[in-house]
Structure 1
Amino acid sequence: MPFESTTPAPAPPRPPPPGDAIAEQFALADSLAALAASEQAAVHARRVAVLKGDADTAELNLPRVGLALSGGGVRSATFALGLLRGLAQDRAPAEPDSSASTADDTDGDARTAAPARPRLAAEGLLGRLDYLSTVSGGGYTGGMFGRLVAAYGLAEAQKMLSDSGASVLEWLRRNGRYLTPAGSRDTGIAVVTYLRAWLAIHTEFMFACCLVGLVVVAPHLLQHSQQWVDPAGWERWYSPWWPLAVGLWAIASPGLIAGYWAARDAPERESDGHGGGRSDAVPNSVRQRPGARDGVFMLTAAASAWVLWRLLQPGGTVDPLRYGLNWPTAGLLALVSLASGQAIVLGWLWFTRETYALSVARLRNWLTRALRVVLLASLALAAMGALDRLSWWVLEEFLIGNQWLWGGVGVGSVVLVVLRALIQPLQQIAAETSKQAQNWLPRLLSVGSLVGVAALVTAWLTVLQWFVFAPETFSGLRDVPAVLRAGLLLLGWLVWMLLTAGNAQMANTSSLHSFYRGRLTRAYLAVGNLRRSIDKDHPHHADVTTVVEGDDTRLANYRPEATGGPIHLVNTCLNQTRDDQSGLYNADRKGTALTATWRGFEIGPEQFLGMRPSFDAGTLGRWVAVSGAAASPGAGAYTSRGLALLVYFLGVRLGHWMRAPRERVTLRWLSRLAWDWWPKPLMLTSEASATFFGVERPWWYLSDGGHFENTGVYALLKRELDFIILSDASCDADYEFGDLENLVRKARIDFGAEIDFYSQDEASRLFSMDPAMITVLSPEDMANNHSCRGVLLARIRYRERPGPDGAAFRPEGTLLVVKPNLHDALDVDLLAYAQKHESFPHESTGDQSFDEAQWESYHRLGEDFGRALSDDWLAQLPGWHSPAKHNIRISARLSGSKGEAAPRAEPLWRRGARATAIGTTLGVGFSGTLLLSMWQVQDQLQRNRSDEQTETRQLFTDVSKGLQGVDGACPQIPEHVVTQASLLFELRGSAAMRPLEQAGLDRLAGRIAEECRKDVTSAPGCLSAYQRMQSDLCTLVRKAPTEDTALNYWHPGTSPEEQARAAGRVWRAVAGYFPSFPGLGRLPVEVATAPPPAAPPVQMQVPQTEAVPQAAAAADAAAEAALNIMPLRACARPGGGSSTLYLQIYDEASRPAATALREALQAQPGNLVQVAPIENVVRSAELKQQRRAVPWPKPTFVLHDPASDRCAVALSRFIGPPWSAAQAGDTEPVWIRGLPRRLQATPGVIELWLPPVDPANCTVCDR
């Protein structure tokens, strides 16, 4: 590999002067060899700078040392800061130069000491660091240190870090709450930032759902506007998508399955005797003729299809427009597909020029892939049908005002009790099999996220269905047909896409990346800004909430090694969940490492792109923030669709889209067009669906480097360093070493390197371990240590290669792991904090706001380790002063604690175990109270039902007694009996009526109907009583069941002709706003239909002469006089008799106004309209426990007989306040609709549906 090295290389030539730095940067070739050469020169140059120009060969040729700061948020950053400060405080005495000679003074009495030999670690161990590799939270501190070195030089930076009273430490300590450093004011800023990001992502999702919703409702919209299919045959499918899904599966899958079975392997045959034995197979050049069984199977399927067609054709059963997709039709399609699929496959095998084996293999592959496509397409159609029907059902429930409170309480109570019963067994199982329980968590999270997204999509589709189909949306859209409403949504979506789809940066600006980057930059990187004064006593002090120029720096200009610091490697994760041609895809990793420096970008283990001026390199703050972007839809190996959906819709998106430095592949023209013109929706869709293509797209999605490898050692292993110090401050309370395990595995796979850990006994044998300083522990002993500062030590064996003598050998290196652990010699305040916080020093990474005690405890713990790591102690380890050569005999296992067999010793400063545990589940008393409450609710419901049945029985008895002696020829019925009878008939079909009472009510209705057929007698007073009975009781008995007609999926309330006329009116109204375009008012297609039935009679137009106006005025006056005498004469039936009007209201607030309308109609002469008692359809539905009616937005006449249209027009003139006031200025104040075909029509019957009124604006409602 290009980074391979066996011994320290001789000093390379000095790097070019600073004036040529830019030219050197952009001249770097795209190879790891060029990168290695550049870094080797930079390491030499930085060592010369630290040595202040003294070219000490021994110091210049010391082994290369790297420091890795792991991820872990602010916890890792604070511990790493303490470790850096401890390393900076090391003051090793300078060694005298043994080669220098002494000289006598002029008196010969005194001798002058030789000058001290400069050393890299003379002013602190930070001078030994050639590389600094950071991930996530380690990047906070690593970037701070790099900026400090770049601004002040390494020597001054070490002094600032080692000084406990320096302003740098005070600044960092003060900003431990880096997300909200200013308290409530910053909390408000964080909240509004989050809300802005959340609103942006959900706005994008709303427009995405708009397009999806328009596709989902397209078949319903087509049926609503054109009504081509017969609802009687289609409504059993609930949604048109479901028969389409079944039809697609029936017409495609049988043929694909039969074709696969027909593509059989060539049969083996006996040898012809010339070669002896059996031949391998039929020669590939021989074509296989279809066998007899194939022909019989194909002919049987075809014959069955023909017979089924002949049987179904006479009855017209195979008629999709009338019957939809029924099972006979589906069977016919399957048989045709079966025969066709086998015939096509056999024909292909017969006529193809390819060898038989190759043709069979390709056919099987193609047929399997095609079957997968058909399956996915069928499932997609079925899913759209489910969304269509579910959103429609929710819309109906919303419009009728159903309350789900009791049902929700009941279901929630049952679930709560079940969870209460299962919580203890589940906790026990989780305690015993914690690993398996943890594996279930992502699955549950994924399922929960998918369910949540489905609910969110359903909610938006419900809004879309409401906007398109609901009769009452906005007052301005009341008369706009559904197809035009859908067109408005499509127009809005197109405008949004044209305005925003090309804004690629919106995917980043709509996330929390900018907020996160800004806070990190000012809290950590700003310490290296010479324009900012971080001293709080400085007169020009700027706090962390103030943006100052120079707080951040461009990545291309960030070179701490130029002033003696280490080469800083910022590690991120390039997400990839789809296979491509790059060779980087791994289905388990779902991403690869991307390391950024000013030299360029390292991608994976073997690729490098040298920096160019055109690269989207950004700033150091961007890369530090991306390296810590843990909450991202793309999370490397942790990526799942459920997690991506959850993070996406919560708006917690910290990942970053970076423009690809260089095109890797040539995309297809459609993909290229989409990424060039509509990158934003593609990026957001990729995030929501966790679909990332790595380097194969023009934009790369980057996230936390810990999503690939969390220690930061990966980039240092690539460079085969001699000595690596790892600050591993990940959250690992049980010391399971998951991050180290991941590192060991990736090191072996990607670099061929083996990492073996020392046991404590092996380390004690080889090295001198002072318990007061540092002790090398075995991995399994780390969790049970509290008597010393414990670290882990490992041998690194790099990839095998030929040596100078030609023999194979493996260079070695050393890995020293500093992992937070507590011991008895720590400071009192730190141990006191640990006593109060049992999870310290492995508190949750989710805690990103450290208070003073928490910050100081982690910082002090890291500083304690850093001060203990002296140059003398490190010198005994291989790889520090000389090339690494380990003598390890038995390596330790990288595992957690020893388990239950070895009891864990509790330190004195740790709290003892409590005698009793505090329960975290629901108590028994609460569960008992809940069960009692549920029982009381159930008992109350049963009592209410019993009371209803008792009241119904009493009402039936009273009505039967009141109507016992009624005579239809001259009825004498009290008014209260009529009212009681009206209430009783509203209960028809209700669960409150027992079967015996229902039968009695039917017999009572039959008896009243017989009385209603009698003729009136001439006795005094009989005529008025007879008319009253006809309009009250008789209309109640003859009333057919009514259903909601304002909103119905398969039976729209308006005909296609009415919708076309409404569209024409809307079109002409819109055209009125554009008088400059006179042709706009003409419809593209003229709809030749009869005048609407709701329109009043049109007066005949005559020529304008002097005499004609007088004649016309006289005719109008006569017509007006006749109208005043008998305004409802249009309601007379052609064969004699009167029309019947049923008044329907939705609330009791409308009853006074409806009663006034009924009385006005009953007072009209001629008795041409029988007005039935007013029915509150909402109350009737509640009594019958049925779905309530969806209100019409306007007074609406529903005609059972098309000949009643003129009667409806005459009746509409009587509709006054409050409905006439509500429709003031409306061009169509009253709607007239025909009865849906699913209902049985009664000639002469008209239904008038009166919408709810506002009692505050109703003067008649108080009557």
Structure 2
Amino acid sequence: MDDQVEPNADAGEQPWREKFHGVFAKEVDAINTRRDPSRKLATPAPGKPLDAVGLALSGGGIRSASVCLGVVQALNNQGLLSRIDYLSTVSGGGYLGSSLSATLTRTKSFVFGGGPTPIAGSAPATDISDTPAVGHLRNYSNYLIPRGFRDVLSASAIILRGLVANSSFVVPVLLFLAAFTAWTNPKRSLLDKSDFFGIDLSRYLTQSFGLTLVVGLTLLGLFLLWAILRSLPWLASRLGWLDRAGWIFLVLFVAIAFMEFQPFVIEGMFEIADHGNASASGLVLGLFTGWVKTLAAAAAPVTALVVAFQRQIGAFLNSATAGSSLVAQAGAKGIKLAVWVAGLALPLIIWVAYLYLSYWAIANDGKRVAEEVRCPQTAISATVKLQQPDGASTATLQGSLQPDDASRCAAAAKPLADPSSPQAWAHTPIWLIWLSKFIPSLVPEGHLMPALYAAVAALVFLLSWPLAPNANSLHRLYRDRLGRAFLFDPSQRPGAKPRANEVSRDQGRDFAEVDKMRLSALSAADAPYHLINAALNIQGSDFANRRGRNADFFVFSKHWIGSQATHYAPTEQLEAASPELDLATAMAISGAAASANMGSKTIRPLTPTLALLNIRLGYWLKNPRFFAPAGSGAAAAQPGGWTPSHRTTRYLWSEISGRLYENSDEVYLTDGGHIENLGIYELLRRQCRLIIAVDAEADSAMHFPSLVKLQRYARIDLGIRIYLPWTPIQAATLAWMAVNAGKPPTPPPVEHPGPHVAIGIIDYGGGERGYLLYLKSSLSGDENDYVRDYARRYAQFPHEATSDQFFSEEQFEVYRALGFHIANGLLSGGDDVSVASDVGPPVVTKFGDAGNKTVAEVRAALGLGVAPAAGAGAGAGAGAGAASKAM
């Protein structure tokens, strides 16, 4: 990326609260277009709460989308959807949230639920009727491959295309390095000499690591000089630049040593080819390449497994703390080792490829010892004296013997023919020799192969030049599949006769797609103001890395796009500059879980491997900083058009190295869950009076990790404290999950209406407060028959792995039914809730408890008023069993 500067270098930057106030004011104006005149909101002064209701839908893939569908159905069934001012979504919650925003914009009505379904005429409704729109979502619960094998084939082709595209950036580098090695060592006999492009440096350098030795000694002298200069008080303050120079020299020394090591390894490859086995003197060098190849081959399947389960691995490593059991700590260390092995696999494979390319391009003019023959002397002379017994006469015979195999030994010891002869290239593949014949005759015979490498490298590099950052990543595949499943126009009824060649309707079985809908086209009058949360990856920036986050909170909305780090740009301007930016793109960015860089969840050893293997759902977006309005502290807008960042080599290197900044011309965005997975943070920033949060992430241990992280972020960044008594929900759910796993606790849990919900207090500071109505994907034993049946068969329910994005109809329905059950049970006033109190310990009570101040104020914010006395007070005063969780 471009040379970077400190993000807050301009001292005139305004505090974030003041800069954000203009963004906030326009959002309030949009919200007021949907409110009744009697309920119009006034933009509060900075630091004052807004009397608004926000709904946050958490990440969790299709599992979260299913649960959130049930919750939204219950809210609408109770007439409360119109009370929601803000809709803040992350990842899987954004699937459903984007579908809700798109359908409300198109139809101006709620399309995901019919009227209530009463029982026995007068009993309260326990569910609602399906609609065609819900049927559409069910049909696409397996949204990644909804058409089965056809989608598998098309996805495989797209994945292969991305791998080929990424290879086009690696191959030129490999070929240029191999060509350089072969040009400096065109013959095998030069591998053990200090030679540079045919110039013999043996008179000046030792044959083994001569240049490394010279550079090393020079480096020691420079470091000694540096130490002396640092000891001079009048000069020490002027030598800060030497810190950077020092590590640059160290890197240079290691690079030179590594380069000088390559000829020794290649010589070992020749020895293996000559002997079929390495000689004793060349054991290490001869077998080194074999060891590297074996290690790379063994690490490849480990890489595949680690890549496939990277989310679970990250969660396990985070949970295995110093206080964990020895088994858990041992498992964590084993997984860390596997991660490092997986991270080394691809670099090793690339290194082996370089070695072979170099080996094939070097002529073999060395000694041949293909046959292990013990060579005798070339001739044996002997003198024989014969004497008669009487000593009278003697005879002397002289002669020499020539061994039969002496000629073979001599032939074996002869050097090979000239490097231009076929024998010198017997180790090179025939197809490569054939390709070298196309090199012009002006190139000397011994340099044909390096010239071929250079020509192919230049050609591939030129062909890869036009490749755009997002064109060949997995983002587009993911975005298109999500758009087909969740962004549609329900006003075009299924079953209508399709027009000729209309692919978007899949032969009339589906609704027409609206995945091209712009963010700026979302209706503010008919739908809640939608905030789509993503993570801005800035691993190379001090803005985030001073705290180790690697990311900032990034948001898409109808009027604004940006973050604190990049400032906020008008959505319409950014859409004009980025034609591919629309609702479907923002939804896919918010759910881009798999990536080389994943904000605070980045696995550094895997970053280069994931980038090169094209495991990248993230998106490169033009930086809002260059489109932010005047007075926001951002730079002026830059002219659009073709920019250097369109070069894929540049962005790929940024992803591999983690050189990602908030002031580069384009920024890299991924899943909002890579920094905050609940979608609550942006509602806290806007200081909403009531926040309804649906937590449907995978949390089989019921540790509420995303909530705990949110409490920390809110306390540090915003000065906000959250008090939420969630332990009663944890205890009930863990007990029922143990029953489902065949390990019931003692005493066994009792079927009970809740708690699935906790009500917390948000301390905004200055005596101002708000409330958090927290709905957790949980169990209490009172769910309907098919939900309990599924739970008995699948012990991880309702927290099955997020990696399962291929839901069956049954899975989709049980999670939807659970979401509806939780929200409907709460809003009907009959379920228990765990309630925080600022005057005593938390209590478990009914949501209809009019005597509980916190409950009463939450009901008032929802417009529910005073609950009927029949449900009031039931369970009031019961101990929650745990102290309030606060940060």
Provide TM-score, normalisation by structure 1. 0.49
Distance between the aligned counterparts of 2:759 and 2:273, measured in 1? Answer: 66
Over 3 Å counting, the alpha-carbon distance change for 1:866 and 1:375 in structure 2 is same
Listed one character per residue, the Cα deviations across residues 1044-1070 of structure 1 (whole Å, up to 9, x for unaligned) are: xxxxxxxxxxxxxxxxxxxxxxxxxxx
Whether 2:324 is the aligned partner of 1:373: answer no
Residue 474 (str. 1) matches residue 433 (str. 2): yes
Distance 1:160 1:561 in 2: 25
The residue number in structure 2 matching 1:87 is 75
Matching residue's letter, 1:707: H
Instruction: Say which of 155, 165, 181 aligns to 1:200.
Output: 165
Paired residues of 2:111 and 2:131 also in contact (CA < 8 A): no
Q: How does 1:448-467 map to 2 (within 5 A)?
A: 448-467=341-360
Q: Does 1:185 align with 2:175?
A: no
What code does the residue aligned with 2:768 have?
P
Deviation at 1:889, TM superposition (A): 13
Aligned to 1:140: 95
Q: For 2:458, which of 483, 494, 497 is the aligned residue?
A: 494
Report what 2:141 is aligned to. 176
Q: Does structure 2 conserve the Cα–Cα contact (< 8 Å) formed by 1:256 and 1:367?
A: no
Among 622, 625, 633, which residue is 2:596 paired with? 633
Distance verdict in 2 for CA 1:396–1:457, change over 3 Å: farther
- 1:738 is matched with which residue? 705
**What is the aligned partner in structure 1 of residue 389 from structure 2?**
none
Tell me: CA distance 1:745–1:435, structure 2 relative to 1, closer, same or farther (3 Å).
farther
The structural deviation recorded for 1:536 is 5.1
Pairing partner for 1:360 from 205, 222, 236: 236
Are residues 1:892 and 2:886 paired? no
* Partner residue in 2 for 1:72: 60
Assess if the C-alpha contact under 8 Å between 2:578 and 2:622 holds in 1.
yes
The C-alpha deviation readout for 1:1172-1230, integer Å capped at 9, x for no partner, is xxxxxxxxxxxxxxxxxxxxxxxxxxxxxxxxxxxxxxxxxxxxxxxxxxxxxxxxxxx
Instruction: State the TM-score, normalizing by the size of structure 2.
Output: 0.69
Helix, strand or coil at the partner of 2:617? coil
For 1:775-786, what aligned pairs fall within 5 Å after superposition? 777=728, 783-784=734-735
AA aligned to 1:796 is I
CA distance in 1, matches of 2:857, 2:435: 83
How far has the Cα of 1:396 moved from its partner? 6.2
Give the 3 Å change call, closer, same or farther, for CA 394–544 of structure 1 in structure 2.
farther
The change in CA–CA distance for 1:184 and 1:250 in structure 2 (over 3 A counts) is: same
Amino acid at match of 1:609: A
> 1:772-793: per-residue Cα shift (whole Å, max 9, x none)?
xxxxx36566534663322222
Q: For residues 807 and 653 of structure 2, what CA distance do their matches in structure 1 show? A: 35
Equivalences for residues 906-945 of structure 1 within 5 A: none
Distance 1:260-1:678 versus aligned 2 partners, 3 A rule: farther
Query: Quick one: structure 1 residues 205 and 519, their matched pair in 2 at CA, closer, same or farther if it must change by over 3 Å?
Result: same
* Equivalent position amino acid for 1:783 in 2: L
Q: Of residues 644, 651, 657 in structure 1, which corresponds to 2:614? A: 651
The question of whether the paired residues in 2 share the 8 Å contact of 1:71 and 1:729 is answered with: yes
Mapped partners of 2:610, 2:559: distance in 1: 33
| Cα-to-partner distance string for 1:314-365 (whole Å, 9 max, x where unaligned) | xxxxxxxxxxxxxxxxxxxxxxxxxxxxxxxxxxxxxxxxxx2xx21333x3
- The answer on whether the counterparts of 2:90 and 2:533 sit within 8 Å (CA) in structure 1 is yes
Aligned to 1:1259: none
What residue in structure 2 maps to residue 1157 of structure 1? none
Task: Write the letter of the residue equivalent to 2:61.
Answer: G
Tell me, in whole angstroms, the C-alpha distance in 1 between the residues paired with 2:197 and 2:511: 64
> Matched residues in 2 for 1:76 and 1:69: separation?
8
Equivalent of 2:81, from 116, 122, 126? 126
Confirm whether residue 246 of structure 1 aligns to residue 213 of structure 2.
yes
Q: For CA contacts below 8 A with separation 6 or more, give which structure has more relative contact order.
A: 2
Q: Would you say 1:707 and 2:669 are equivalent positions?
A: no
Shift of 1:197: 1.8
Decide whether aligned partners of structure 1 residues 243 and 815 sit closer, same or farther in structure 2, where only a CA change above 3 A counts.
farther
CA distance in 1, matches of 2:486, 2:77: 20
CA deviations 1:503-551 (Å, max 9, x no partner) are 4x2x31221111110100001112x365x54x35877797876798752
Alignment of 1:750-769 (within 5 A): 750-758=717-725
Q: CA RMSD in A?
A: 4.2
Q: Does structure 1 residue 557 correspond to structure 2 residue 450? A: no
Pair 1:508 & 2:496 matched: no
Q: 1:880 to 1:598 in 2, by over 3 A?
A: same
Say yes or no: does 1:571 pair with 2:533.
yes
Supply the AA of the counterpart residue of 2:658: A
Cα displacement (A) at 1:714: 0.8
Q: Which amino acid aligns with 1:477?
A: S
How far off is 1:207 after superposition? Answer: 2.2
- Give 1:611 deviation, angstroms: 2.9
Aligned partner of residue 362 in structure 1, secondary structure: coil
Q: Is the 8 A contact 1:570 1:597 kept in 2?
A: yes
- Secondary structure at 2:700 match in 1: coil
Cα deviations by residue, 1:22-58 (Å, 9 ceiling, x for unpaired): xxxxxxx99422222211112111123xxxxxx3449
Contact 2:621–2:666 under 8 Å retained in 1: yes
CA contact (8 A) 1:391 1:459 kept: no
Say if 1:205 and 1:263 are closer, same or farther in 2 by CA, change over 3 A.
closer
Q: Residues 391 and 461 of structure 1 are in contact (CA less than 8 Å); yes or no, is this contact kept in structure 2?
A: no
Question: Aligned letter for 2:699?
Answer: D
Return the alpha-carbon distance in structure 1 between the equivalents of residues 594 and 266 of structure 2: 31
Residues 609/476 of structure 1: CA separation in 2 closer, same or farther (3 Å cut): closer
2:758 alignment partner in structure 1: 792
Other structure's SS at 1:181 match: coil
SS of the residue corresponding to residue 54 of structure 2 reads: strand
Give the corresponding residue for 1:684: 652
Residues 1:43 and 2:7 are matched in the alignment? no
For residue 205 of structure 1, give the secondary structure of its aligned residue in structure 2. helix
Check whether the contact 1:160–1:166 (CA below 8 A) recurs between aligned residues.
no
Q: Which of 529, 548, 553 does residue 593 from structure 1 map onto?
A: 553
**1:30 to 1:615, Cα distance in 2 relative to 1, 3 A:** farther
Q: Report sequence identity in percent.
A: 26
Larger fraction in strand: 2
Gaps of 5+ in 1: 1-28, 49-54, 91-123, 267-355, 420-426, 761-776, 801-808, 896-1263
In 1, the alpha carbon distance for the partners of 2:564 and 2:634 equals 21
Partner SS, residue 788 of structure 2: helix
Identify the match of residue 788 of structure 2 among 828, 831, 846.
Answer: 831
Query: Taking structure 1 as reference, are residues 395 and 82 closer, same or farther at Cα in structure 2, changes over 3 Å only?
Result: farther
Contact preservation (8 Å) 1:449, 1:643: yes
1:845 to 802, 822, 826: 802
Please name the residue that 1:34 is paired with.
Answer: 22
Question: 1:727 & 1:744 partners in 2: Cα distance?
Answer: 16
Deviation at 1:679, TM superposition (A): 2.6
Matched residue, 2:484: 522
Secondary structure at the aligned position of 2:693 is classed as strand
Q: Give the C-alpha shift of residue 143 in structure 1.
A: 0.7
Aligned positions of 1:219-234 closer than 5 A: 219-221=184-186, 227-229=198-200
On the 8 A contact 1:430/1:437 being kept in 2, the answer is no
| More displaced stretch, 546-555 vs 678-687 | 546-555
Question: What is the match of residue 869 of structure 2?
Answer: none
Equivalent of residue 869 in structure 1, options 811, 826, 842: 826
Whole-Å separation in 1 of the counterparts to 2:496 and 2:770: 47
Change (3 A) 1:212 1:846: farther
| Structure 1 counterpart SS, 2:452 | helix
Amino acid aligned to 1:181: P
Deviates more, 1:393-402 or 1:623-632: 393-402
1:11 match: none
User: Does the CA contact (< 8 Å) of 2:567 and 2:625 recur in 1?
Assistant: no
Q: Partner amino acid for 1:486?
A: P
Aligned counterpart for 2:860 among listed residues 865, 868, 881? 881
Q: Distance in 1 between matches of 2:787 and 2:459?
A: 60
